[in-house]
Structure 1
């Protein structure tokens, strides 16, 4: 990462967004993040592949929703640091007028995101926390890019396993969506036969002050509420989907 570190950013404590960035081969991370990432990789050697598959899943879903469903509004909560094939880039490859708002509660993410998107009139970055859904809803609306009265793709990708009790918060976000909107979630699954490794993973993240709550596929499915679950086959080849489920769960659902 460049020497221009935003004020208030702790470079000595690992951060989940920067760990993710490092695992994707990014440069926006510090030594503490790289150390934590290597510890995670030693505990779960497949973690890097999981991060890659998660990113691949996200890109395919966004393209499908833009190209096949006609969605033109994307809200990515817990977006993380800008990297290759961002949501707005994939959406713009289908329609340059598509609008994207990124939401994150990390100051370094917001600073870097705003700098990157400064000359992108159809893209914005706001500081917000999924645990405050009303605040997120208001801040996204204030950008002038998203009309909550029209279908929106709401993306909660690889971030809800960092929230101890997400169900009520996600329910409020679902309620605010217009009919025809889509909810996209990916989530770390709980490996029952690797309880010791999962506990070690929790310990690594706890050292960064981040709770980690892997969940079963059934528990993750509850986050979609009464939305219509879509077949994920168009988004991921069968062999990838099979491997992805070992590491995490990815799903897409539509609001009737």
Structure 2
């Protein structure tokens, strides 16, 4: 991910693979380029069930959003790493439950922002705003005037970091970003995170993952259970705690649920006391 210092709607790069477009490819979308498909296929050679993992991650996002809107009473969302619009985006799920919900979407891919502004329309009672910014500069996100025009940071906010924090490489590198963002939010706010992991992978596949990281053919940083759980330090984990995304409150999903080794992604939701 590149750090964006301002609007870059004229800077769509079709020569470098972008995570949002690669994810769109795995989900069967059309908003991607040959370089994104090639990158996605390279990852599929190491992790053949990446498409299934993307689908389950998306379902987790929707279940977590329903929980926050319906059970926790959250009416404000800060969704960083928006991705290209597809069915049942954060504001659509939340506003079906509470039409007055407000959502700020943040992404650093100008193609995502162009699509978001065109397609992600709010209910009349609510509001959606789109910021071009980078997760690795959380202070810059918080300083954006459009964020504070849309969200009241005196009231609880759900911070959504779904399938984005694993693009911040390095053991422990994600925690300071999460702390900065959560420190700006009041008591009663929530953190929602998913992140790739090698924990359930067979030894051979885990070794292939390490080789792909070393070769630069993937930039998805896997976090083990301890590192992932540390992202929720100081927060109250919501049951069932840290689980594979396919198993988090998935009692209404089709059975049988996927093998965690086929998903290789942790998910969790925590509340700020």
- Same fold by TM-score greater than 0.5: yes
Aligned runs of 1:125-144 on 2, under 5 Å?
125-139=130-144, 142=147, 144=149
Q: Is the 8 Å Cα contact of residues 76 and 100 (structure 1) preserved in structure 2?
A: yes
Q: Tell me which of 14, 18, 28 is aligned to 2:17.
A: 14
2:244 is the alignment partner of 1:236? no
Instruction: Give the helix-richer structure, 1 or 2.
Output: 1
Q: Is the 8 Å Cα contact of residues 50 and 244 (structure 1) preserved in structure 2?
A: no
Report what 1:185 is aligned to: 193
Q: How many residues align?
A: 248
Report what 2:93 is aligned to: 90
Q: Tell me which of 169, 175, 179 is aligned to 2:177.
A: 169
Structure 2 distance, partners of 1:240, 1:140, is: 43
2:152 is the alignment partner of 1:147? yes
- The farther-off stretch of 64-73 and 142-151 is 142-151
SS of equivalent residue, structure 1 residue 52: helix
2:55 is the alignment partner of 1:52? yes
Report what 1:213 is aligned to: 221
Q: Is the 8 Å Cα contact of residues 62 and 87 (structure 1) preserved in structure 2?
A: yes
- Provide, for residues 51-90 of structure 1, a one-character-per-residue CA deviation record: whole Å limited to 9, x for no partner: 1110000100101110111100011001111111100010
Structure 1 distance, partners of 2:145, 2:67, is: 23
Structure 1 residue 102 displacement after superposition: 0.4
Report what 1:196 is aligned to: 207
Q: Is the 8 Å Cα contact of residues 181 and 254 (structure 1) preserved in structure 2?
A: yes
Report what 1:157 is aligned to: 162
Report what 1:3 is aligned to: none
Q: Is the 8 Å Cα contact of residues 248 and 268 (structure 2) preserved in structure 1?
A: no
Structure 1 residue 244 displacement after superposition: 7.3
Structure 1 residue 203 displacement after superposition: 5.9
Report what 2:71 is aligned to: 68
Q: Is the 8 Å Cα contact of residues 43 and 200 (structure 1) preserved in structure 2?
A: no
Structure 2 distance, partners of 1:68, 1:119, is: 21
Structure 2 distance, partners of 1:24, 1:140, is: 33
Structure 1 residue 110 displacement after superposition: 1.4
- Unaligned stretches of 5+ in structure 2? 1-8, 241-246
Structure 1 distance, partners of 2:227, 2:258, is: 18
Q: Tell me which of 19, 26, 29 is aligned to 1:26.
A: 29
Structure 1 residue 192 displacement after superposition: 6.7
- Unaligned stretches of 5+ in structure 1? 1-5
Structure 1 distance, partners of 2:138, 2:261, is: 28
Cα distance change on mapping 1:181 and 1:241 into 2, 3 Å: farther
